Structure 1
Amino acid sequence: MDVGNQLKKLRQEHDYTQLQLAEKLNVSRKTVSSWENGRNLPGIPILIDLSDLYGVSIDSMVRENEHAYKEEAEKTKTTIQKIWLTPVLSVAIAIFLLSCIYLSKDAAGHGQGFILLLHSLIF
């Protein structure tokens, strides 16, 4: 969960509207909205105030988000590995098939041996 979603979740858990929270923190409602939408991040003094208001440590807010960022990085890494693996396997299969065609030609250069090889692999 990113910082904005975490702040929104905490606000909703404590039954504050954006306007009520803004008044408690002496900021505008638009400022609270921009934090929750990820356009801006609150500064350290505001994080301290939020920590006191919600009864949670700043560390726990940051660490939860750090864990989420690590999970997202792992997902991205896995996706990149999958994207990389597909073309590599495709090239390996193409090389294998071309090798089979080349090796299956008879002395006259005809490729009938490949059909037989393919048939034997399938059946």
Structure 2
Amino acid sequence: MSLGQRIQQLRKSKGLSQEELAEKLNVSRQSISKWELDNSIPELNKIVLMSEFFLVSTDYLLKESEHTNNDSDNNYTTAKILFITSIFFIAVGLLIAIGGWDANQELESIAVGMIIQIVGIAALFIGKAICSSVHIPVIIVMANIALFIFIPISIITDLIKGYPIRPYPSNPPEIKLFVLLYGIVLLLSIIITVTIKHNITNHKRI
């Protein structure tokens, strides 16, 4: 794999356009395009900047090591799979908790469902740890949060209303309070997630 192909792959792994990468490196978009097409070679200081920004070594950028490239590709693919898997586990955990409760009316069903959901959250963090340069789409983060907070908000609603603990609200007064609390927590989660992403982006630009 050429230097240009590596730059393009790393740029896409961050979810950046050529214009956005050009802004971060203080070069023109045309320069990025020429680099990726191997029509020109970046200056040494730009290679160093890219290595710091993408969290890879300069050797990785400059050496045409197929083994290193394969490892990087495999890590990237594995991370993406884990991100999708995290949503699957959290959704399955929610369904098991609800289905198990309807069938047996036992708290153990809720516990099992939440344990499966925790496995899903762990998959998200493992994916990020495997490939730190990969960008976690905000939609995946929010989907995980939206599914994961459902049962805890329902339990909080039951405790406030003095009802037996269930994985979902079941009567109008409880549903109204659940929707209010769920909406507030989800809104705060969106604000926090967007703020963190914005701060990280600004930090990388510095």
Query: Taking structure 1 as the reference length, what is the TM-score of the superposition?
Result: 0.51
| Number of the residue aligned with 2:20 | 20
SS across alignment from 1:41: coil
What is the count of residue pairs matched by the alignment? 66
| Number of the residue aligned with 1:61 | 61
Q: Per-residue deviation at 1:62?
A: 1.9
Matches within 5 A, 1:32-43: 32-43=32-43
1:37 maps to a residue whose letter is L
CA distance in 1, matches of 2:12, 2:44: 21
| Number of the residue aligned with 2:48 | 48
- Higher-Rg structure is 1
Structure 2: unaligned runs, 5 residues or longer: 67-206
CA distance in 2, matches of 1:16, 1:32: 12
Structure 1: unaligned runs, 5 residues or longer: 69-123
2:31 counterpart of 1:31:
yes
CA distance in 2, matches of 1:28, 1:60: 23
CA distance in 1, matches of 2:61, 2:27: 20
CA distance in 2, matches of 1:25, 1:61: 15
Query: Taking structure 2 as the reference length, what is the TM-score of the superposition?
Result: 0.31
Identity percentage of aligned residues: 33
Q: Per-residue deviation at 1:61?
A: 2.0
2:40 maps to a residue whose letter is N
Deviations 1:3-29 (A, max 9, x none): 111110000001110000001111000
CA distance in 2, matches of 1:46, 1:6: 14
